[in-house]
Amino acid sequence: MKQIEKFVDEVYQSASGNKKEIEELKKEMKNHLLESVHELKSEGKSEQEAIELAIERFGGEKEIRSVVGQLFKAQKVFAKWMLNFALVFLVLGSVIFATMMFIGDKNYEKSEEVAFNLLERLGESEVLTAEIKKEITTIVEENETIKRIEVFNLDNNPDALRGEPDFMYQKDIWISEVFGNGWDNSGTDEEHVWFVGIGTKIHDSLAFNIFLVGVSIYWVLFTLWAIINAHHRNRLNAGWIIAFAFFNVIGYLVYSLRGKNAALSDK
């Protein structure tokens, strides 16, 4: 029935998307309309009356065209949001990683400064005074980025660092370690009577984990976006899915270049 075919073609005339998918939807709509026409004819309606009633029951050309347009628009909007979220996770993960690494470096510099200040206070003295011990305890307790300070007397004992420190104060902050914060050791050089070692909070492990999560989410979302995009352009195949999954944006760039070259060749 040419009138049915014409109606279906007009409904999908402005639809943009995967050609194969559009053809399948057109075929499905046509079959539904033909079934409705046959039912109406069996009820005693003429063919023309049956066709008009079937189309009217289906919603009419303008209404259906609007619904079809909204459907394909929703698919495009969904794909666009997926790409935006992918980029947000990539940027956010990178920024957090860089920020936490910067903070870790600053903590390390601050600990070195504390160590050399203590070394200066110790000077050439041969014993640790109660005042110095109290000062070390206060520094550890009041500083969130310092977990431990240990002091070794190296005078006439080059192997002192292999043994127990002359004094050590350490606080228990296991909750910080649960959330992925690590600790690094810094200290003064070994050319003085005393050696001051400090356990400093760093964020390398936590920063890397956050970056890894951000990149992983980005990778998955970008791959899905590329697959959807290729599907809408009717160019999706197993090869491109593998390229997007394993090479991500590089795979998509190759896909885009191939598409442009193919379009130029057709001209």
Q: Where are the alpha helices (DSSP H) in 123-248?
A: 130-142, 174-178, 204-232, 238-247
Confidence of residue 195 (pLDDT cuts 50, 70, 90): confident
Mean residue pLDDT across the chain? 81
Mean pLDDT of all residues in 69-82? 77
Residues of 155-173 as b/e, b for ≥16 C-beta within 10 angstroms? eeeeebeeeebbeebeeee
Q: What is the pLDDT of residue 175?
A: 45
Q: Considering only CA atoms, which of 5, 87, 15 is closest in space to residue 234?
A: 15
Q: What is the pLDDT of residue 180?
A: 47
**DSSP secondary structure code for residue 160 in this structure:** G
Residue type, 88: V
Q: Which two tokens stand for residue 110?
A: 């601050």
Q: Which residue has the higher pLDDT, 65 or 202?
A: 202
The phi, psi pair for 150, rounded to 5°, reads -130, 145
Q: Considering only CA atoms, which of 195, 176, 177 is closest in space to residue 186?
A: 195
Please identify which residue in the block is written with the tokens 């004992």.
157
Asked whether the whole model's pTM tops 0.95, one would answer: no
Q: Name the range with the highest mean pLDDT among 6-15, 63-72, 122-131.
A: 122-131
Q: What is the pLDDT of residues 80-108, one digit of tens each?
A: 899 999 999 999 999 999 999 998 888 88
Q: Which residue has the higher pLDDT, 43 or 187?
A: 43
Q: Which residue has the higher pLDDT, 90 or 236?
A: 90
Mean pLDDT of all residues in 58-82? 71
**Three-class SS state of 123:** coil
Q: What is the pLDDT of residue 164?
A: 87
Residue ranges of domains in the chain: 1-59, 78-93+207-266, 106-203
Q: Which residue has the higher pLDDT, 240 or 185?
A: 240
Is residue 228 within 8 Å of residue 76, measured between CB atoms? no
Nearest 5°: the CA angle 79, 218, 234 is 35
Is residue 238 within 8 Å of residue 211, measured between CB atoms? no
What is the rounded CA–CA span in Å between residue 43 and residue 246? 59
